[in-house]
A and B are shown apart, each in its own frame.
Chain A
């Protein structure tokens, strides 16, 4: 396994929460073997461990929360194809060794090295199956847009992994929209309920757009920034309708926030990724967790040999 990286085996990769234990390349490699990784996956696992062990990602809080969230890992750049990652059919599911084992290795590091075991520091009420390990690649070659990594300041020639704190994916079905305007409104309608239809600004999200949905934007000449601008317009909330007590629902914003017009997501708070099989008019929403310095921010790390 250690032949998969040029890094010395005794190099400390990160202090792994919650116990803040210094974790060496060798310890990551041992857990990667247990997860079923091939040696060439190790650089991705190492970069992912670095990403989740930052103060910005806040792995301690991600574990300790009772919400159903865990690290979602998105791989960009040449390494995805080089190690055989899946960005196509069943991209968020099973059946690909790299996708299945990289996320698993990261979770084993958190549990075995950091001490973040369920029932201990991990207090999730429900959890989700992605907490076994959740890693996939973006379909960059088939996308008319810049990639998630490029959007986050990296070059297309760089290989990166982005860690996002999220719950399990939810399918969005739209089989009839033929215009980008209609599809955007349709996606927005589902995104309004991400985590809760009464949550605005406080939590980020991820939208995985499939190739057939992306075709609507490709055909119309919409780029990522046009899409995000139009989507944001469709995701504005009149807070009168989502304050506590509105429509007989006690959950909601504090009543003093009534009378405002607020967006669902903070600027940059919706990560958009292109992935999935070529057939099927579906996309997926992955709800996030508390964002910002008091929660978890997405973190992207370059994958180095």
Chain B
């Protein structure tokens, strides 16, 4: 008698990707700051921007429409094509 076992999962395999190398220096790089739109996240990111600019980085600011949903694909593409690195901030 043959027993068939059904898989309750999505049967997906994780795609493994190498992380981008950590930059030696931020000087001259464009760093994206993604505000997830939680209250006071901008306060934190304003300070991070000051610190990054002092290190010679160019800062580009972005914001999710709402913190309750993933960043839209277009926004992620925009960040990926415009920035060398990105910092996402959560704050309350």
Give the B-binding residues of A (Cβ under 8 A).
16, 18-19, 21, 23, 26-27, 30-31, 33-34, 58, 60-61, 64-65, 108, 112-115, 290, 293-296
Contact = CB atoms under 8 A, between A and B. Distances in A.
Interface in B2-27: 6-10, 12
Contact of B12 (A19, A65, A293, A294): A19
A295 B68 contact: yes
B68 to A, nearest CB: 3
B12 A34 contact: no
A27 B68 contact: no
B10 A19 contact: yes
Interface residues of B, number: 12
Contacts of B67: 294
13 contacts: A18-B70, A30-B8, A34-B8, A60-B70, A61-B66, A61-B68, A108-B8, A112-B8, A113-B8, A113-B9, A114-B10, A294-B65, A295-B66
Contacts of A64: 68
Most chain A CB atoms below 10 A, which of B66, B68, B70:
B68
A290 B37 CA distance: 14
Nearest to A22: B10
A31 B8 contact: yes
Interface string B67-78: 111100000000
A295 B65 CA distance: 11
B71 to A, nearest CB: 11
Interface of B: 6-10, 12, 65-70
Contacts of B65: 294
Contacts of A19: 10, 12
Contacts of A31: 8
A70 B7 CA distance: 25
Nearest to A61: B68
B15 to A, nearest CB: 12
Contacts of B6: 26, 30, 33
Contacts of B9: 112-113
B69 A27 contact: no
Contacts of A30: 6-8
Contact of A61 (B7, B10, B12, B69): B69
Contacts of A60: 69-70
